[in-house]
């Protein structure tokens, strides 16, 4: 078998792997990224369809935070255009989120009960500014102490699902508030004018500038270790198998695949069980094309619908994503059966019923380009906000990164994945320096 030697091998070109690769390349290490698919980026990528740059997952990366800081640190272009003010659809009324007093404004649209509004606002302020509630109760259990109106519960469900891809019956109350703090209420996010793939591509340029390599269509099929220490991986490339020897291996291919590639028996007791306790996030994305705008604003958060929790008219922020005169939208939905098996057809039908009711021009002008249900082996995220896993695995010099390996409490999604990649890269750089 042919052999190749690198300092750092990265398995998977999701945003976490690319952040790790760019950081270590910038530090002067020789990096090889291997990616199973023909394109880089994983859930942060782009598929061109009917001339539209459709996203493979990420709708809007958060601005500021670890992701943008990493881009600045390594000198990569961060081309993300900020979105406008969020609008909420509550009880048939559209509410523009004011710069201050946002929660009170939203609650006032959800209920007429002043005592309930006051109770929720005060409890919310205590949890944000004094001490977060315990980890042992869900956000829904916390809320039920102060809220009784269904629309109020629905409002929080939408806030959690549309921004953190999680239900209030799944996320811990502590996780919810840590998420809001870490992501500054998720008000600051944007859209990539060149499509989501622009972000990993920009990091790829950093890796290549430092003589690193990125191989697509090249899955790792086995992670190699000896005496509890990683030694490299077997990679399939061009129909042949190749042994890549590496001092450090960073796996970005998800918890289950990392364990399968390296062999469950090599992780020792407890680790695989801890991975099994992570709650994967499920989501549905409906990609829509229209010849007329379907929304008057760039995004609408939907409260109390069957499934749809948000509609993003991405071309309102970045018209470059579609040919002139064409509008590209993504509707996000959380399967309410998220704790149960998903009935794909039924879920999509419920989403389409929602869209017909919410968007007056949907029936006459919209075309559904594709639908994505993210669950099982390909979830929207491998863990939800509030859960934490370290990047160091029990195998020495094998790191696991991605949205299932976030060590900063409250971080989630792309920012969390980026945090995990950067943390692993910093640790690996220190170890390589002293090796």
Q: Are 73 and 288 spatial neighbours (Cβ–Cβ below 8 Å)?
A: no
Q: Indicate whether 35 belongs to the interface with ligand FAD (CB under 6 A).
A: yes
Nearer to ligand FAD, 35 or 154 (CB): 35
Q: Indicate whether 16 belongs to the interface with ligand FAD (CB under 6 A).
A: yes
Q: Find the binder of ligand FAD among 15, 147, 155, 259 (CB under 6 A).
A: 15
Question: What is the per-residue DSSP string for 167-205?
Answer: -TTTSBHHHHHHHHHHTGGG--BEE-TT-TTHHHHHHHH
CB of 191 to ligand FAD, least distance (A): 9
Contacts to ligand FAD from residues 268-297, by CB under 6 A: 283, 285
Using alpha carbons, select from 179, 176, 110 the residue that is nearest to residue 140: 176
SS3 assignment, position 411: coil
Angle between helices 114-129 and 102-110 (to 10 degrees): 150
- Joined tokens for residue 432: 């390589």
Q: Find the binder of ligand FAD among 14, 132, 195, 232 (CB under 6 A).
A: 14
CB of 26 to ligand FAD, least distance (A): 18
CB of 347 to ligand FAD, least distance (A): 13
Q: How many CB atoms within 10 Å of residue 292?
A: 11
Question: What is the per-residue DSSP string for 64-107?
Answer: SHHHHHHHHHHT-----EEP---EEEETTEEEE--SSSHHHHHH
Q: Indicate whether 143 belongs to the interface with ligand FAD (CB under 6 A).
A: no
Nearer to ligand FAD, 159 or 415 (CB): 415
Provide the residue count of the chain.
435
Q: Are 299 and 313 spatial neighbours (Cβ–Cβ below 8 Å)?
A: yes
Burial class for 211, CB neighbours closer than 10 Å (0-12, 13-18, 19+)? exposed
CB of 131 to ligand FAD, least distance (A): 27
Contacts to ligand FAD from residues 59-78, by CB under 6 A: 59-62
CB of 259 to ligand FAD, least distance (A): 12
Nearer to ligand FAD, 54 or 366 (CB): 54
Q: Indicate whether 232 belongs to the interface with ligand FAD (CB under 6 A).
A: no
- What single DSSP character describes residue 217? S
Q: Find the binder of ligand FAD among 374, 385, 397, 422 (CB under 6 A).
A: 374
CB of 308 to ligand FAD, least distance (A): 13
Q: Find the binder of ligand FAD among 143, 168, 359, 380 (CB under 6 A).
A: 380
Q: Indicate whether 198 belongs to the interface with ligand FAD (CB under 6 A).
A: no
Q: Indicate whether 414 belongs to the interface with ligand FAD (CB under 6 A).
A: yes
Using alpha carbons, select from 210, 203, 232, 226 the residue that is nearest to residue 7: 232
CB of 282 to ligand FAD, least distance (A): 9
Contacts to ligand FAD from residues 314-353, by CB under 6 A: none
Stretch of residues binding ligand FAD (CB under 6 A), selected from 139-147, 252-260, 272-280, 295-303? 252-260
Nearer to ligand FAD, 113 or 408 (CB): 408
Q: Indicate whether 190 belongs to the interface with ligand FAD (CB under 6 A).
A: no
Q: Are 366 and 355 spatial neighbours (Cβ–Cβ below 8 Å)?
A: yes
Q: Indicate whether 252 belongs to the interface with ligand FAD (CB under 6 A).
A: yes
C-alpha span between 218 and 9 (Å, rounded): 12
Nearer to ligand FAD, 42 or 167 (CB): 42
CB of 364 to ligand FAD, least distance (A): 26
Measured between alpha carbons, how far is residue 7 from residues 39, 41, 44, 400, 417 in Å?
23, 22, 26, 16, 22
Using alpha carbons, select from 433, 418, 430 the residue that is nearest to residue 73: 418
Contacts to ligand FAD from residues 36-55, by CB under 6 A: 36-37, 42-44
* Contacts with ligand FAD, residue ranges (CB under 6 A): 11-17, 34-37, 42-44, 57-62, 219-220, 252-253, 257, 283, 285, 374, 380-381, 402-403, 413-415, 417
């Amino acid at each position: 078998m042919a052999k190749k030697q690198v300092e750092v091998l990265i398995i998977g070109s999701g945003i976490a792997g690319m952040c790790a690769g760019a950081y270590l390349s910038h530090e002067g290490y020789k990096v090889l990224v291997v990616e199973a698919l023909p394109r880089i980026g994983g859930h942060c990528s782009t598929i061109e369809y009917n001339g539209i740059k459709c996203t493979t997952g990420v709708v809007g990366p958060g601005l500021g935070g670890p992701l943008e800081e990493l881009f600045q640190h390594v000198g990569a272009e961060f081309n993300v255009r900020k979105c406008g003010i969020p609008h909420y659809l509550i009880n048939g009324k559209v509410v523009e989120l004011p710069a201050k007093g946002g929660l009170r404004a939203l609650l006032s649209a959800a209920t007429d009960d002043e005592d309930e509004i006051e109770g929720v606002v005060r409890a919310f302020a205590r949890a944000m500014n004094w001490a977060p509630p315990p980890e042992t109760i869900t956000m829904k259990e916390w809320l039920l102490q102060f809220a009784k109106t269904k629309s109020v519960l629905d409002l929080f469900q939408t806030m959690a699902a549309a921004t953190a891809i999680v239900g209030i019956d799944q996320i811990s109350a502590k996780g919810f508030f840590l998420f809001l703090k870490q992501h500054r209420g998720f008000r600051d996010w944007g859209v990539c004018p060149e499509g989501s793939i622009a972000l990993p591509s920009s990091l790829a340029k950093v890796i290549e500038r430092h003589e690193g390599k990125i191989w697509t269509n090249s899955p790792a099929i086995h992670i190699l270790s000896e005496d509890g220490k990683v030694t490299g991986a077997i990679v399939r490339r061009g129909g042949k198998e190749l042994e890549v020897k590496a001092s450090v291996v960073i796996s970005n291919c998800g918890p289950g695949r990392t364990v399968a590639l390296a062999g469950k028996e090599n992780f020792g007791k407890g680790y695989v069980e801890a991975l099994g306790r992570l709650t994967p996030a499920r989501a549905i994305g409906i990609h829509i094309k229209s010849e007329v705008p379907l929304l008057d604003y760039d995004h609408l958060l939907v409260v109390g619908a069957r499934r749809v929790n948000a509609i993003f008219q991405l071309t309102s922020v970045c018209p470059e994503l579609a040919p002139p005169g064409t509008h590209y939208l993504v509707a996000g939905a959380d399967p309410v059966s998220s704790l149960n098996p998903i009935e794909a057809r039924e879920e999509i039908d419920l989403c389409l019923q929602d869209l017909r009711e919410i968007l007056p021009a949907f029936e006459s002008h919209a075309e559904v380009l594709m639908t994505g249900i993210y669950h099982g082996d390909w979830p929207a995220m491998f863990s939800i906000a509030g859960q934490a896993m370290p990047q160091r695995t029990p195998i020495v010099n094998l790191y696991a990164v991605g949205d299932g390996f976030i060590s900063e409490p409250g971080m989630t999604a792309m920012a969390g994945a980026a945090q995990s990649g950067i943390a692993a890269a910093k640790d690996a750089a220190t170890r390589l320096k002293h090796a």
